A and B are shown apart, each in its own frame.
Chain A
Amino acid sequence: MALYSVVRMLEKKSRMKDLSMHVTDIARNSVEAAASQVIVSFGLDKKEGVLEVKFEDNGRGMSAEMVKRVTDPFTTTRTTRKVGLGLPLFKMSATQTGGSLLVESEPEKGTVVTAVFDVKHIDCVPLGDLAGAATLLITGNPGVEFQFIFNANGHSYSVSTTEIQDTLGEKEISQPKVVRFIKEMIQENIKDIDFDF
């Protein structure tokens, strides 16, 4: 992103308002890294106020040197591999609650990004429309197999691209009518396991 773009975005009050926006952003990194499989898992412990968000992909991965620089917005913007503000902003959201961000990667194997949030912290971003983010990642990225796992206080819900495709008997799940039903399904199930803080 060029500096001019960043200034324009600030003028428009563009920002990462909630966790669901980060989820879309970080999961899209995996898609851009040519992953065919992305697993996004959430572990929420309400009592302790701890949320762990984990992204695992089988994309092209990164060298150890790249991993070191990947959360620094200033050294990464000029590399040929397009990594910009996504991870730095995600790291900021996590660390401002006293949490952490860990990036592990191996070239040609894939990347794992793990973030921990203290959801009781006053600076913790709200959850946002997580069902919507998950739905749009599943339906909006043909050819990428997504799996979302939600764990909250011992209850769990999991949904995946393949599962939906097999149930519908269709590969094509990007059409508006289908998207709306998928979103409703994920929303209801997340509500059911009380995944919220």
Chain B
Amino acid sequence: MAKVKTLDDLRKMKDELKNKITLREKADDPESLVQIKVSMATCGIASGAKEIMNYFIEELDNQNIDAVVTQTGCMGYCYAEPTIEVTLPGEKPLVFGNVTTPKASEIIEKYIKGGELVDGIIPDSYNTF
């Protein structure tokens, strides 16, 4: 594929992908997507949250998993950064701490794809909006 450089390229690229990703239909109903929020305050950033966010974006794309990956503030678990919040469709949000790349991979393989719980969950009643 040619490199995306202008906004026009970006639009063309999206049109090409139209068949592969069901952007509009799903986007109208975010509940039907896997939602990942990466804690990105000073503590998270300094601990490598950006690498983790990039890892999720690349891995979810490679595996064609419909998801939205966004940023959030400090959830108060600075000691366990990087932390992420994962919401599977129809499930309550779960917060995972000390998310390294291998842990991120485990979360995708086991929890996101299989609904199986993995170590590193932070018991939590925190509500992001």
Contact = CB atoms under 8 A, between A and B. Distances in A.
Interface of A: 1-2, 4-6, 8-9, 12, 14-16, 20-21, 24-25, 28, 31-32, 82, 84-86, 89, 129, 132-133, 136-137, 139-142, 163-164, 167-168, 170-172, 174-182, 184-185, 188-189, 192
A128 to B, nearest CB: 9
A180 B57 contact: yes
Contacts of A89: 42
B112 interface: no
Given A4-B79, A85-B43, 13 more contacts: A1-B74, A9-B46, A20-B50, A21-B45, A24-B40, A24-B45, A129-B50, A136-B50, A140-B71, A176-B57, A176-B60, A176-B67, A185-B4
14 contacts: A4-B79, A6-B78, A14-B47, A24-B40, A85-B42, A132-B50, A139-B69, A170-B23, A176-B60, A176-B67, A177-B61, A179-B61, A181-B13, A182-B10
B121 interface: no
A141 B79 contact: no
Interface string B28-52: 0010010000101111011110100
B24 A170 contact: yes
B92 interface: no
Nearest to A185: B4
A1 B41 CA distance: 11
A16 B46 CA distance: 5
8 pairs of A and B residues whose beta carbons are closest in the complex:
A5-B78, A172-B27, A176-B61, A140-B71, A14-B46, A174-B68, A8-B79, A86-B42
A179 B57 contact: yes
Interface of B: 3-11, 13-14, 17, 20-21, 23-24, 27, 30, 33, 38, 40-43, 45-48, 50, 53-54, 56-58, 60-61, 65-71, 73-74, 78-79, 81
Contacts of B21: 175, 177
A140 B70 contact: yes
B71 A163 contact: no
B104 to A, nearest CB: 13
Given A9-B78, A14-B47, A180 B42 contact: no
Contact of B10 (A20, A28, A84, A164): A164
Nearest to A10: B46
Contacts of B24: 170
